[in-house]
Each structure stands twice: as structure tokens, then as C-alpha cells.
């Protein structure tokens, strides 16, 4: 194996530091990036000064990312391997983490990896070779209570990385997802960010979370050190064979991920009632108060101006429910949704990216109807374009609407639901929440994150009588594929490296969408979820494509899945390049 030039983020300690030293010891050149190289660099380079160069980098700083990559290319002429390792954990109830904490989590753990990949890809594509290793986690496949936002970020990494692999594999650039289990490190202590209400003793979940955090930290002390992660990353650098899509490391990661992926939702639920899954055990049966859901419910629906949201609003009203149909421009769009149901549907202005707007809408609905029984979190839109072509603003807007918008809404309604002892939160995900594809990588990242957040939330709020379900529509005919679809600027302006392919795929995508059913089936299912007396399922796929592809993706090994999907044209080819 020839000497490789390897850039590692988060290399001051832990996985990154261990990998830097082991990779350098095998004769490779390592750029070990960290936020404070003066403080942390000497320990990493000691004895390997001719092989390791420490460099200052904060992965949340786009200019800093460009500078480090540019300097490495100028000095070495290439970057053979990028190891996207920088990240940290966030612990606490999903209801109680702050906006600042959530953004920092995604800015570092998701967008940090995207920024580095975007920066190195042009040079790797030009040379026709390269490796991008994105460090995920066991939590990237198996969410659990109190680590829900961390799991959401790591699920986003998984969705983004799988889509990227389909986008760049034909160029000679390999993408691999490392999935470490639990290892002893300061991740569980000094680097772990904990929700402020928990630290300040004012959490609605105080005793439960305090005990869980103590157990989490005690268990972490029994785990191995980071050596096997460093070895795995060094092996990835030198492996002559093609990298697999995923590389789990550690007994818990290896066994739990396999159990989760090979089990149906019902089988996984049964496993979680036992004692063997420890951190991932279900905390108990649904608590709260008994409620008859078949009668009149107050249903709060976001994104109700058209499509799924409007169909659900009108169907819920037709079944005798009271509906708060929220939308960004209620004056323009509200009348059409209310038409014929004026006594049952009221429209309210709401922008899910604006916390003040959410607070005002929830207060107005409470004043009008007295309570909120069901939240249908539907607002969202699609972002279309290769991950390499997306802009910072496009990525942040996608996450702000499709993920944080839903989180802000559930955070706003949960106190009332917990107090009344009942409630339902129905989060609208997508086929892309389980099945990533080229050109929709950041959309898939947002929906993967939503699924993990929702699954963790279900455990956290069950004792209060609040149910959580994820609705997963496949492709339906709507303006999602036309006027509401955000096609990235690089594609719109004809400057994408993938321009011929993206134009072809976009035309095919819209042509197929024109043949699909309308939104009625999704509206019906959402109304069913509102009035279902039985406990809501965790996931509810809708449409022949979702019903077919979601189970197939979960049960099919990565190499088989990738081979079959590429044969169907899911990826790009060299003919698709500009």
C-alpha cells in the first residue's frame, strides 16, 4: 500500500486521536485537525512528528473548512482519505433541549461532515479516487430515550452518506459509514451536552433522566478504550478492496444493529420489553388517562394549505373533529381548506421556522378550542440536488423546516398534553426517511433524523399518556415535485458537475410523480391515526412504493441493495457528468 494523505477531523482525543496515531504509524501522512492544536496537538504528534501535522479547524466554520482543505491540497497535492470524525453527544428529553443545543448538534455532527465532503470532492473526482469515511454511531441505527437528538443527528449522517455513495461511486470516490458502539471516553463526561432543565433540577422528567444518565455513565466506564476504532479506521485507509457501505465496530454495535435491521417493528417492540437491550429497553406501557378517541378531537395540523395537510384537515373535519389548519398565509389559503367545513375548521397563520409564530398559533388554538388533542406535524418541502452542489443556506433551511419545525411544534404542545394526560403526535416523514437516494441526500438526512427523534420521543412521553407515530408516505402527485420543490441553485443555474444527469433524473422524477395518486390516501390515514382507539403503531408506511421499498431496504444487505439499485439507475454514471 502506498503512502496515503489522510485528513481527520476531531483528532484531539478519542477516536480521532487514536486513528491519527495508528494511521501515521503505518507510514501515512496525517493532517490531524482540532479546535485547539496548541493545547492538544503535542500529545497527538509525539513520536510521529514527521508523519502528523496538527491543524486548527472548527467544522462549523465554512471558511475554516475551505482553508484547511486548500492548505492540505497545496502542501501535499492531494487528499486521499477524509475521516469525518468531529462530533459530540447531547443528552436530555427531546422536549427540553434548547434551540441553541439542537442547532449546534446538527451544525457539528451533520453539516460539519457535509462541509468537509463538499470541500474535498472536487479534487477527489478530478483524480478519480478517494475515500470519505463518515463516523456515525450505534445510535445512527438504534435510537433510544434521552439521546434522541444525538440519534437524530447520526441518523441524518447515515441517510446523507448513503445518498452520497450513490452520487459519487461512479467517479472512483468511495463513501463508508463507521458505526462505533459504546467506548470509554470523555464523550460521556466532559464532552456530553446535557439539557439545561435537567442540570438545573427543573425537568419534568428529572428523576427518570437523572437515573438513566447515571446508569449510562456507569456503563460507559466498563467499555473498552478506543483502540479498535483506531485500528478499523487505519484498515479503511489501507484496504485495497472496495469499502463497504457500513462498518460497525464493537460487540454492541455489531449485534444490536443486526437485531434492529432484521426485525419487524412488532418483533423489535417485543425484544425491547425484555431485559437484554439495557439502554434500549422500552420504559413501560402507556400511562396517562383513558380517552375515547372515536369522538370529537381537537386536531392541530401544520402545512395545511394544500396536499397532505389540506386533505387531512378536511377528512378530520368530515369525521366530526375540530381542526386548527395552520399555514404560512392563512388569509390567502385558508378559505379553500375551510370551504364546507366552516364550523369545524379554523385556519391560523404559522411559520414552523419561527418560534414566536409557533407560540402565537398554539396560544390562539388553545383560546379557540380549549385544548390540543392531536398534533399532525406535516409542514415540509423537498430539496433536490447532489450534496456537493448544495449551499449552506439550502441545507440549513431544509433542516430548519423539515426537522426543527416538527421539533418546535412538539415542544410547544407537549406541556399541555402531559398535563391533560393524553395526546397524539403524528410526525409526517417519507419513504426517504428509510430509503435514501441520489439527488435527495439532505432531504433524506432530515427525514432520517425525524424518524430517530420520533422513535426516541415515543419512549420519553409514553408514561404521560402521549402517543407518537411516524407516517411514511411514498410518492404522491402534488406540487411537492413542482412549485414546492427546491431545486438547488447550482442546478438551476446550470453549473453542477452532474448537470446532464441531474436534469435527466429531475425530468424522470416529475414524470413519475404525474402518474401517482393524489393526497387522499394520506389524508385518510392521518384521520385514521387521529381516531384510532388502539395504540398507534410506531411507523405507518403509505403507498405501494413505501410498502414495498421500506421493508426491502431494512431486510436487504447493503451490498445487495446497492448492486440492485444501481442496476435500476439509482446512481449517476460518467455519462451524467458535465
- Answer yes or no: 12 catalytic: yes
Question: Which of the following is catalytic: 88, 91, 131, 136?
Answer: 136
Distances (CA, A) of 147 to 28, 97, 188: 36, 11, 11
Contact partners, residue 425, CB within 8 Å, separation at least 6: 374, 375, 377, 410, 413, 414, 417, 454, 457, 461, 466, 467, 468, 469
Locus of grid cell 436487504? 556
Residues 131 and 308: their CA atoms lie apart, in Å, by 40
CA distance 549 to 440: 16
Residue 464 Cα to chain centre, angstroms: 26
Is the distance from CB of 140 to CB of 148 less than 8 angstroms? no
Give the whole-angstrom CA distance, residue 475 versus residue 514: 10
DSSP state of 542: E
Give the SS3 label for residue 399.
helix
CB–CB of 476/522 below 8 Å? yes
CA 121 to chain centre: 22
Q: How many residues does the chain have?
A: 578
- The grid coordinates listed for 417 are 398534553
Nearest to 439 by CA among 390, 495, 493: 390
Active-site residue identified among 150, 384, 443, 498: 150
Coil, strand or helix at 7: strand
Residue 285 sits at φ, ψ, to 5 deg, of -80, 165
Of 486, 541, 488, 479, whose CA–CA distance to 510 is shortest?
Answer: 479
CB 32 within 8 A of CB 11: yes
Q: What are phi and psi of 411, to 5 degrees?
A: -65, -35
Question: Which entry of 118, 131, 154, 505 is annotated as an active-site residue?
Answer: 154
What are the contacts of 478-483 at 24+ separation with CB within 8 A?
A: 478/306, 478/307, 478/308, 478/513, 478/518, 478/519, 479/306, 479/307, 480/307, 480/381, 480/382, 480/513, 481/382, 481/509, 481/510, 481/513, 482/510
Please tell me the distance from the alpha carbon of residue 142 to that of residue 336, in angstroms, as a whole number: 42
Q: Is 136 a catalytic residue?
A: yes
Three-state SS annotation for 262-315: HCCHHHHHHHHCCCCCHHHCCCCCCCCCCCCCCCCCEEEECCCCCHHHHHHHHH
150 belongs to the catalytic site: yes
CB 139 within 8 A of CB 259: no
At 540, list the grid cell. 405507518
Q: Where are the alpha helices (DSSP H) in 514-543?
A: 520-531
Counting runs of H as helices and runs of E as strands, what totals does the chain give?
22, 18
Residues sharing a CB contact under 8 Å with residue 102, sequence separation 6 or more, in sequence order: 90, 149, 404, 407
On the 0-12 / 13-18 / 19+ scale of CB atoms within 10 A, 97 is buried
Question: Where are the alpha helices (H) located in 273-427, listed in sequence order?
Answer: 307-318, 330-338, 355-369, 392-402, 404-420
429 in active site: no
Residues carrying an active site annotation: 12, 136, 150, 154
Amino acid at each position: 500500500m502506498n503512502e496515503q494523505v489522510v485528513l481527520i477531523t476531531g483528532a484531539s482525543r478519542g477516536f480521532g486521536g487514536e486513528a491519527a496515531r495508528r494511521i501515521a504509524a503505518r507510514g501515512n501522512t496525517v493532517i490531524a485537525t482540532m479546535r485547539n492544536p496548541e493545547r492538544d496537538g503535542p500529545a497527538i504528534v509525539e513520536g510521529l512528528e514527521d508523519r502528523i501535522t496538527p491543524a486548527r479547524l472548527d467544522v462549523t466554520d465554512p471558511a475554516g473548512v475551505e482553508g484547511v482543505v486548500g492548505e492540505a491540497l497545496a502542501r501535499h497535492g492531494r487528499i486521499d482519505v477524509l475521516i469525518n470524525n468531529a462530533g459530540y453527544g447531547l443528552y436530555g428529553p427531546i422536549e427540553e433541549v434548547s434551540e441553541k443545543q439542537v442547532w449546534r448538534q446538527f451544525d457539528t455532527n451533520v453539516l460539519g461532515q457535509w462541509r468537509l465532503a463538499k470541500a474535498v470532492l472536487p479534487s477527489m473526482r478530478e483524480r478519480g479516487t478517494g475515500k470519505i469515511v463518515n463516523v456515525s454511531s450505534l445510535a445512527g441505527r438504534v435510537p433510544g430515550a434521552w439521546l434522541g437528538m444525538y440519534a437524530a443527528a447520526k441518523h441524518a449522517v447515515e441517510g446523507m452518506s448513503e445518498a452520497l455513495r450513490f452520487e459519487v461511486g461512479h467517479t472512483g470516490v468511495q463513501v463508508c459509514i463507521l458505526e462505533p458502539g459504546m467506548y470509554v471516553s470523555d464523550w460521556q463526561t466532559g464532552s456530553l451536552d446535557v439539557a439545561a432543565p435537567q442540570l438545573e433540577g427543573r425537568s419534568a422528567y428529572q428523576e427518570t433522566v437523572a437515573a438513566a444518565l447515571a446508569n449510562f455513565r456507569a456503563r460507559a466506564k466498563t467499555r473498552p478504550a478506543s483502540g479498535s476504532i483506531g485500528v478499523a479506521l487505519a484498515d479503511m485507509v489501507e484496504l485495497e478492496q472496495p469499502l463497504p457501505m457500513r462498518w460497525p465496530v464493537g460487540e454492541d454495535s455489531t449485534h444490536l444493529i443486526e437485531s434492529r435491521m432484521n426485525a419487524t417493528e412488532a418483533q423489535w417492540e417485543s425484544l425491547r420489553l425484555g431485559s437484554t437491550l439495557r439502554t434500549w429497553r422500552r420504559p413501560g406501557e402507556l400511562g396517562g388517562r383513558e380517552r375515547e378517541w372515536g369522538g370529537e378531537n381537537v386536531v392541530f395540523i401544520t402545512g395545511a394549505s394544500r396536499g397532505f395537510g389540506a386533505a387531512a384537515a378536511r377528512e378530520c373535519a368530515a369525521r366530526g373533529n375540530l381542526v386548527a389548519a395552520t399555514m404560512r398565509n392563512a388569509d390567502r389559503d385558508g378559505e379553500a381548506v375551510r370551504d364546507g367545513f366552516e364550523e369545524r375548521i379554523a385556519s391560523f397563520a404559522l411559520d414552523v421556522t419561527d418560534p414566536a409564530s409557533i407560540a402565537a398559533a398554539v396560544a390562539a388554538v388553545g383560546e379557540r378550542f380549549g385544548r390540543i388533542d392531536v398534533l399532525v406535524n406535516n409542514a415540509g418541502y423537498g430539496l433536490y440536488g447532489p450534496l456537493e452542489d448544495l449551499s449552506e443556506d439550502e441545507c440549513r433551511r431544509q433542516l430548519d423546516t423539515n426537522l426543527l419545525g416538527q421539533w418546535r411544534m412538539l415542544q410547544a404542545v407537549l406541556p399541555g398534553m402531559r398535563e391533560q394526560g393524553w395526546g397524539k403526535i403524528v410526525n409526517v416523514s417519507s419513504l426517504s426517511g428509510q430509503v435514501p437516494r441520489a439527488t435527495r441526500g439532505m432531504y433524506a438526512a432530515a427525514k432520517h433524523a425525524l424518524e430517530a427523534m420520533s422513535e426516541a420521543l415515543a419512549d420519553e412521553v409514553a408514561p404521560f399518556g402521549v402517543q407518537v407515530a411516524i407516517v411514511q408516505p411514498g410518492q404522491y402527485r402534488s406540487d411537492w415535485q413542482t412549485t414546492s420543490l427546491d431545486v438547488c441553485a447550482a442546478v438551476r443555474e446550470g453549473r453542477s458537475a452532474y448537470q446532464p444527469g441531474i436534469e435527466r433524473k429531475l425530468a424522470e422524477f416529475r414524470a413519475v410523480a404525474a402518474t401517482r395518486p393524489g393526497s387522499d390516501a394520506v389524508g385518510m390515514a392521518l384521520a385514521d391515526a387521529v381516531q384510532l382507539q388502539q395504540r398507534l403503531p410506531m411507523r405507518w408506511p403509505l403507498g405501494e412504493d413505501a410498502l414495498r421499498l421500506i421493508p426491502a431496504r431494512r431486510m436487504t444487505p447493503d451490498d445487495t441493495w446497492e448492486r440492485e439499485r444501481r442496476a435500476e439507475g439509482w446512481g449517476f454514471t460518467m455519462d451524467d457528468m458535465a
